[in-house]
Every structure is written in structure tokens, then in C-alpha cells.
Structure 1
Amino acid sequence: MKCYISGPFFLLHSLSVKQKKDAEDLWSKNTNCAALREALQDFKELEVQWDAFLQRLDDELQLSPKIHNVDHQSKCISPDTPLIDARTGETVTLQKYLGRGKKILLVLIRQFSCLLCRLHVQDLQKNQSSLDAHSVQVVVISFGCQEGASYWVDQTGCQYDMLLDPSRKMYSAFGLGASLQKVLNFGNMLIYSEYVANDMEFPRELPWIQDDMFQLGGNFVLDEHGRVLFSHRCQSPIDRPSVEDILSAQ
């Protein structure tokens, strides 16, 4: 990831700022500077060209899924889809979590080294009392292997149940695909660079574990019968619903 964000990071660093909005404020206060105007125009053209390039790659690789053509709000997810318990290696299904009078929040993460996924799970754990008050049980789902999941659980301290979906059947059922453009677009690169500028370290990828940085994630709330009450298909790694939005599921 660092190789992609080096350009936007050095842009912020060269202006002695740590956030995009600070750079924009600086630009707005120096509109009379011809050199700055020219540099800003070049910057905007680069953004357009970069995003267009990624979209072409998505189209050529057929990565962009048609994820909005199914009304997941009215669907029930099969409770018999085979999954793997990340801690024990046992085969389980969602049926294990249904029929207990609780809502189930499925958090489908991206790659194990996704910083934003980790921050989202941390946010859920910080708001555990609110989730408990609304009878919401959190289950984290990954498409990765058990070794990678064990490493992820140890690093994050995640207390939630974690299930593995190596065939990505759950990802497919919820319409979650992969996209270079949605992960690496220029706007995202600027946001990632803000994290670096503020000394937030991105988790390292494990070279011996196969992963997919372009997979998109999502959040889905099921009732005790498996009916989908709430759907949020992430449009980028940064795009996760707030706890308040999740708790609004009816």
C-alpha cells in the first residue's frame, strides 16, 4: 500500500500539512500565486487520469461487479452455507447463530492487512454496550486462510467470533466484488496519506499468506430467522457504516 500513497504523502509533506483540507485551505489563501495555480491544475489532471486508468483496468479485468441489481433487503441468506471457525478450524454454518432472539451483524472484512477494517472492528468493540442493549451479536467474516486469521485475531485482539469463507460464497451472496478503482482512487490515496502523515502505521502483509487487497467489504444485519434487515456494501475501504446506522436496522 505504501508504494501507492507515496505521491500524495509527499504532496502533503511538501506543503507542511497533514490533511487534505489543510492543503486546500493553503491553496485558497494563495490563489494569486501563478506557480501554485499551475501546480494545482497539474494535480487535478493527474487525479482524473489516475482514476480513469484504474477504471479501465477494472473494466478490462471485469472486476467491477453489478452489485446494485439485487434487492438484498428482501432476501434471506442461506443458513446452510458452509463456513470455517477461524479459531477451531471446525466447519460451521450461520444456523449456529440464528433462532436465539438476537440480531446478527456480519462484518465482512477485506484483506487481513486492511487498516480501516481493523479500525472498524475496534469501533464496534468500543460500542459493545450499545450493541448488547440492542441484542446485536457481531460475527466477523474473512475470505482468508486460518493461519492468516489467527495472526489477525492475535494482532487485533478481536473478541468476536470469526468465520472463514474461502470460496467467498457469502461475499458473492451479498454482491461484494473487487475493484482497483474503488480501493486505489486518488481521493482514497490522499486519505491514506493523511494516516501516514499522522504516524498511523498500515499493517504489514504476510508474504506467505495469499490475500486480495482489491476485495471490498460490507456490513449486514440479519434477524434471528436470517432475513437481511440492513445492508451496507462498502464503496471503498474507508466506507463503513456508523454504529448508529447499524443499530437503526429494523
Structure 2
Amino acid sequence: MDRTETLRPLTAEFLGSLLLAAVVIGSGIMAQRLSPDDVGLQLLENAFATALGLGVLILLLQPISGAHFNPVVTLADAFLTRAWRRVAPFAAAQIVGCIAGAILANAMFAAPIAWSTTERATPAHLLSEIIATAGLVLVIFVLARTGRGALAPVAVGAYIGAAYFFTASTSFANPAITIGRMFSDTFAGIAPASAPGFVIAQLIGGALGLAITVWLTPKHAD
């Protein structure tokens, strides 16, 4: 594989992660400004935009890199396909992309680039992240291993949109987006002190989702 073919998937992961963070944080800022006195409506607006944006990004970039945008998804994919060599570069592209997307979202709304002050690392939030991430991995890889990967843009977007409401954490389910959201002191942010707990919970959830996937689909091709 030549250098261009190696860089193209990394570019897709960086760009997708950047735009995902911009969608999540930008729609959170807009929701906060449009509905300043209604947190429930803010969450609905944020979730709706994220679900649609994520679906579009997966549809756009899935043929190029697999549209992971998430180190947990990359790790799960590597476990199933033995593509371990791309874990580190994909994760780096995803993390840098999410940080850049957070900075871009702040800039679009003339919001200061500052550490978030939103504390989230309660036991309920961490349990929620385990469940949210396990469910995300389950959706992605059961579809892939049963020949229905083409449904991922709709299914993943719908799942994340729903998980905004059925989890106490609003379903970050992604270490890269967790890191990116530290850089925005807005509705969608997370305080740096809360981020390590979220990342650990997401890794646990990813492992749980992968174990369930393998149990449910042991004979299906990856």
C-alpha cells in the first residue's frame, strides 16, 4: 500500500472526528442560546442534530476508513479483524480531530476556548457510559457481522440520539469526543477531572459490547 492509500483513511478519520465534535458542541452551544431556560429542550436540540450529523458522516466516510471516529470502535474492529497496526494512528487522528472540532465549534459561535467546568463523573454517569458504549459497539458490529453494515448510518445515528435520553451521561460513548469536549465550557462540555473516569468506563463498555457481539454472532464473517 502506497503512502497516499495509507493517509487517505487517516484523513477521513480526522475529518469525520473534527466534524462530529463540531456538530456535538456547536449544536449544544446553539441549543443553549436558543432555549436558555429549558434544559430539556436544549438536550432535544443537541441530540437531534448529533443523530443526524453522525449518520451523515458515517454515510459519507464509511467507504474510506470505516467511519470509526472513536478509539473504542477502532479497538473492537482490530480485535475482530486483527488490524492492530492502524489502532494507534486512527486513535491519534480521532483525538486530534475532536480537539480541532471543539475549537472550531467555539470559534463559529465566538465562544472562548476554555476548559469545561461541567463535572460529570458520578457513579450513575460512569455506569451510563459503560451501557452506552457497549450498546454502540453491539449495534455497529452485529450489523457488520450479519451482512447489514449498510444500515450503520441510520442505526448508529438513531442509537446515539436515543442514548442522549436513556443515559444519565447523555452518551458520550467515545474517548476521543470526551477529550474534545473538555475544550469547550458549554452545554456539551466535560470537566477535565471527569474525563478519565469516562474513558475508563467507555473502554469497559467497549469490551462488554464486543464480548456480547462475539457471543451472538460467533460464526459470521467480520
Which TM-score band (shorter chain)? under 0.3
Q: TM-score, normalised by structure 1?
A: 0.22
Rg (Cα) greater in structure: 1
Q: TM-score, normalised by structure 2?
A: 0.24
| Bigger strand fraction | 1
| Bigger helix fraction | 2
